[in-house]
């Protein structure tokens, strides 16, 4: 077993080195995502901003797996609690020597070693969709390995500062982000927000110019969405491509983080105010940020939780974290957006 795994590691290392050489020799295009310069032969087009200078990461897709693996003989260090239709875990994480494999069951495998990522798509007709939707997850994992946590959050730019929106699924994170975009504020990232500390300050890194919103939200903002692609086949959520949707702007540079808003949707009750904004205590804020760490379970499996706790403890002492409790209803979005702006200005 040990000899087999050692051979596996050696063969994969050779494949990674071959891909790195191909990228250099063929001068693959450079893109930017999460503050990383990604060199790739994958046709991202204008869905990712163009990058300048040398490469920090090489990404490619292959029709076949770079090595043959008997998956029954290797043990994952992490298994997702979410299940597929066939009752299999949605995601696995494997580690052998210096490389990792992130496997999305029946969808795609990502092989990761240092600055090289190989994608093997199991569902070829959906390769483009899988890459666009899942590569950011893989990159956020890579940033975690570098000590840069990634929050499950959207963010916009207000007065040259980043303001983040965190919420559980269905509590309005994308809706709030879209409302600020419609008011003229640029998108910094949707769904995944890497935060980096430099010289005592905290900076939010940009994602990519795509925003996922539900048709009902687009309709409430009087935005035409019928030509937008769905996130995945069978899903109702649509993807707004800001490279084509000129009414909304995208910011491709990191910004200092000025505020984190944790959204809480309340049931409709005319006796309650439309929105209430309150400062969270550092203790409660740290607990919430640990819960909203995008790779929380993987970080725990890899033993990163103490470092994340320390990072978020420093963060909440430098950046205000606010709870935004608001009355449900898309017609309330403009009022909530204005209330947040007024609170920020105050």
Which of 145, 178, 195 is where one domain is finished?
Answer: 145
105-108 long-range Cβ contacts below 8 angstroms, 24+ apart: 107/134, 108/134
DSSP states of 95-151 = EETTEEEEEETTTEEEEEETTEEEEEESSGGGHHHHHHHHHHHHHHHHHHHTT--EE
Asked if 46 and 182 sit in the same domain, the reply is no
Q: How far apart are CA 137 and CA 121, in angstroms?
A: 15
**Could you read off the pLDDT of 251-279 as tens digits, one per residue?**
999 999 999 999 998 877 667 788 999 99
- pLDDT at residue 77, as a whole number: 93
Residue whose token pair is 């390769």: 127
Asked if 181 and 67 sit in the same domain, the reply is no
Asked if 85 and 184 sit in the same domain, the reply is no
- pLDDT at residue 9, as a whole number: 60
Which of 145, 162, 177 is where one domain is finished?
Answer: 145
Asked if 196 and 259 sit in the same domain, the reply is yes
Q: Which structural domain, as residue segments, surrounds residue 239?
A: 150-345
Domain count for the chain, please give it: 2
Q: What is the largest CA-CA distance in the chain?
A: 69
Per-residue pLDDT of the chain (346 residues; tens, 9 = 90+): 334 444 556 677 888 888 999 998 998 999 999 999 999 999 998 788 888 777 889 999 998 888 888 888 889 999 999 898 889 999 999 998 788 999 999 999 999 988 899 999 998 888 998 898 899 999 999 999 889 999 999 999 999 999 999 988 777 899 999 999 999 999 999 989 999 999 889 999 999 999 999 999 999 989 899 989 888 878 899 999 987 777 899 999 999 999 999 999 887 766 778 899 999 999 999 999 999 998 888 888 889 999 999 999 999 999 999 999 998 888 888 899 999 999 998 8
- pLDDT at residue 47, as a whole number: 84
Which of 99, 130, 145 is where one domain is finished?
Answer: 145
Asked if 223 and 281 sit in the same domain, the reply is yes
Asked if 120 and 187 sit in the same domain, the reply is no
- pLDDT at residue 159, as a whole number: 95
CATH number of the domain enclosing 215: 3.40.50
The pairing of strands 108-113 and 99-104 is: antiparallel
Asked if 128 and 274 sit in the same domain, the reply is no
- pLDDT at residue 137, as a whole number: 93
Q: How far apart are CA 312 and CA 72, in angstroms?
A: 38
Asked if 75 and 12 sit in the same domain, the reply is yes
Instruction: Judge whether 205 and 34 are in contact, CB under 8 Å.
Output: yes
- For the entire predicted model, the pTM comes to 0.91
Closest CA to 237 of 181, 195, 185, 178: 178
- pLDDT at residue 216, as a whole number: 93
Asked if 312 and 243 sit in the same domain, the reply is yes
- pLDDT at residue 343, as a whole number: 95
Asked if 90 and 199 sit in the same domain, the reply is no
Q: How far apart are CA 129 and CA 233, in angstroms?
A: 9
Asked if 47 and 135 sit in the same domain, the reply is yes
Asked if 160 and 298 sit in the same domain, the reply is yes
């Amino acid at each position: 077993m040990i000899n087999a795994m050692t051979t596996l590691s050696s063969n994969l290392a050779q494949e990674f080195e071959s891909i790195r050489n191909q990228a250099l020799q063929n001068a693959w295009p450079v893109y930017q995502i999460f503050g990383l310069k990604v060199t790739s032969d994958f046709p991202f087009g204008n869905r990712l901003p163009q990058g300048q200078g040398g490469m920090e990461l090489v990404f490619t897709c292959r029709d076949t797996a770079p090595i043959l693996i008997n998956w029954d003989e290797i043990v994952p260090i992490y298994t997702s609690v979410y299940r597929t239709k066939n009752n299999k875990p949605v995601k696995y994480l494997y580690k052998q020597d210096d490389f990792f494999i992130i496997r999305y069951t029946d969808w795609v495998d990502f092989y990761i070693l240092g600055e090289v990522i190989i994608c093997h798509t199991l569902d070829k007709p959906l390769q483009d969709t899988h890459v666009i939707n899942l590569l950011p997850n893989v990159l956020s994992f890579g940033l975690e390995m570098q000590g840069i946590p990634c929050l499950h959050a959207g963010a916009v730019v207000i007065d040259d500062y980043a303001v983040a929106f965190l919420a559980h699924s269905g509590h309005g994170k994308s809706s709030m982000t879209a409302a600020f975009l419609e008011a003229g504020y640029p998108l910094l990232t949707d769904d995944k927000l890497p935060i980096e500390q430099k010289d005592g300050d905290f900076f939010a890194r940009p994602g990519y110019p795509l925003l996922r919103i539900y048709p009902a939200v687009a309709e409430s903002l009087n935005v035409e969405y019928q030509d937008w692609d769905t996130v995945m086949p069978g899903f109702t959520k649509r993807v707004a491509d800001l490279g084509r949707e000129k009414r909304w702007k995208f910011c491709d540079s990191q910004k200092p983080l000025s505020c984190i808003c944790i959204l809480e949707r309340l049931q409709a009750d005319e006796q309650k105010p439309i929105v209430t904004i309150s400062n969270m205590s550092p203790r409660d804020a740290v607990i919430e940020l640990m819960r909203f760490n995008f790779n929380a379970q993987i970080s725990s499996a890899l033993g990163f939780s103490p470092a994340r706790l320390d990072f978020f403890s420093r963060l909440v002492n430098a950046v205000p974290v606010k709870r935004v409790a608001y009355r449900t209803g898309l017609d309330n979005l403009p009022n909530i957006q204005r209330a947040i702006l007024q609170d920020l200005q105050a």
